[in-house]
Structure 1
Amino acid sequence: MKMTKRFFFVFLAVFLLSISTAFAAQKDAPAAPTLSVEGQGQGTATPDMATVTIGVTTRADDAAKAQNDNAWVAAQIQNAVEGLGIAEKDIQTRNYSFYPNYSTEKNHQNEITGYTVNNSVVVVVRDIKLTGKVIDAALNHGANEISSLDFSASDTRAVRKEALLNAVQDARDKADVIAKGLGKRIVGIQSVSENTGYLETRRFNGNMLLAAAKDSATPIAPGSLSMTATVHVDFILSD
């Protein structure tokens, strides 16, 4: 019985010694070298939506007339746009301003010469083929400003995936080249982080649209939109 107990303690001592030796060896072993690489990728999307900002500015000697004229023109524009199939919920007022105009003549600076009313309306065009028709309808019914035209995409998931995959591939390609130059091999990944931007909208200048629409139907070319993604990868290297 005493021999069995003595054997047990000897075995336990040897076992604990072997574990401590293994831990010490592991602690003293150099960490595997790592390679930090940043990759960038881009994804593209075809726009399927447009946002048009339409403005109506009216001036009159009388405040009520300036307001009434503006309201009448704004109603004509809204009716024309809705007639193209644009839903009422996609037509919203962005800005409305009313202010007096003052004389610029010497000794008459404080005299009111009239009133100006400006009404800006944002129209969301969900059928992108109607974009040019919406602009033409607004201008033909009294609009005298097209502040902006922005193209966007309603679903960004596919373009984000494309951008991330391209960024990962870019990081791996760079890492393979660097590792080969160092005489190493990539055997694993220590950590990964990513940063994805927003899908860039494509904006047209309002003055250009007004000039284009004077003599003919407004030409609209949506083009394409892009999104950029960045990934940071720490690769594990081995001989």
Structure 2
Amino acid sequence: MKNLVKSILVIGVGIALLSSCVLGRPAKEEAPVRSITVSGSGSVSVKPDMVSMKFIVKNTGWNCPQTAERNAINTSNTIAAIKEAGIPESDISTYDYSITQDNSHTYAGEYTVRNTIAVLIRNIDLTGKVIDAAVKNNTGANGITSFEYLVSDKATALREARTLAIKNAQDAASLLAGASGCKVNGVLEIREDYTSAGRGNDMMFKAVSMEVGGTPTPIVEGNVTITSNVTVKYELSN
């Protein structure tokens, strides 16, 4: 029995020593991954086929209810004129509405009522006609606070811009890696953001009261530039 106990103790001590040796052995450190991070950009210009506009209807007065009522009439007239120019009601919406009171010494107490109407013009050829209808025919609109060209289907252009951006990043990585005696081995990470910009954004036009039959407003559409910006992290090898 004593010999059996001694054998069990010896085996237990041996297992404990073996475990401590295994646990105490330092893990093999992995070599750090060598990498390079570069940026790439690609842009594609396309012709716009839509326009987004915002018309402002503004009225001032010393009596708040009367000023608000006058603004409501002018706004209704403006919307009716825009619809008559060929824009469906579904593409017309109230973007902003406010009533404020002047606290300055010059016009203290005077009220200002503003109603901003957002209009989406899906047929770009109607742009000039819509502007004329809203601001030239004494409907009540005071001006345009925003004018932006849009592209209804920009998926194809965005795909091209992304392809150009990645190629731009790959070329930069290959050039830098080759100059330092390395090779690009693979992609570790990709980050992207893209922008779509057309001429005329955040422009302000003051309306001039004109009678029907004046010179039509000329609209010459520019291009919409879709840009993809990528940041790519590549693994390097010898």
* RMSD of aligned residue pairs (Cα, Å): 3.4
Distance in 1 between the 2:194 and 2:37 partners?
A: 19
Give the partner amino acid of 1:127: N
| Residue number among 118, 121, 124 corresponding to 1:125 in the alignment | 121
Report the counterpart of residue 82 of structure 1 in structure 2. 83
What runs of 5+ residues in structure 1 fail to find an aligned partner?
1-26
Distance in 1 between the 2:127 and 2:115 partners?
A: 20
Q: 1:123 to 1:190 in 2, by over 3 A?
A: closer
Farther off after superposition, 158-167 or 93-102 = 93-102
1:61-102 deviations in Å (ceiling 9; x for gaps): 544442332222212211111112211021111222334567
TM-score of the superposition, structure 2-length normalised? 0.69
Pairing 1:191–2:188 present: yes
Q: How far 1:119 sits from its partner (Å)?
A: 1.5
Alignment of structure 1 residues 22-171 onto 2, 5 Å: 34-44=34-44, 45-99=46-100, 104=105, 115-140=111-136, 141-171=139-169
1:111-167 deviations in Å (ceiling 9; x for gaps): x5x543222111111122222221221102221121111222233322332222112
Size of the aligned set, in residue pairs, is: 204
Q: Alignment identity in percent?
A: 26
Q: How far 1:49 sits from its partner (Å)?
A: 2.2
Give the partner amino acid of 2:157: V
What runs of 5+ residues in structure 2 fail to find an aligned partner?
1-27
Q: 1:74 to 1:174 in 2, by over 3 A?
A: same
Partner SS state of residue 206, structure 2: helix
Q: 1:38 to 1:69 in 2, by over 3 A?
A: same
Q: 1:97 to 1:182 in 2, by over 3 A?
A: closer
CA contact (8 A) 1:32 1:236 kept: no
Give the partner amino acid of 2:129: K
CA contact (8 A) 1:190 1:236 kept: no
Report the counterpart of residue 226 of structure 2 in structure 1. 226
Distance in 1 between the 2:128 and 2:53 partners?
A: 10
1:176-200 deviations in Å (ceiling 9; x for gaps): 32333234444x3152312123323
TM-score of the superposition, structure 1-length normalised? 0.69
CA contact (8 A) 2:49 2:124 kept: yes
CA contact (8 A) 2:36 2:233 kept: yes
Distance in 1 between the 2:85 and 2:177 partners?
A: 60
Compare the two structures and name the one with the higher helix fraction. Answer: 1
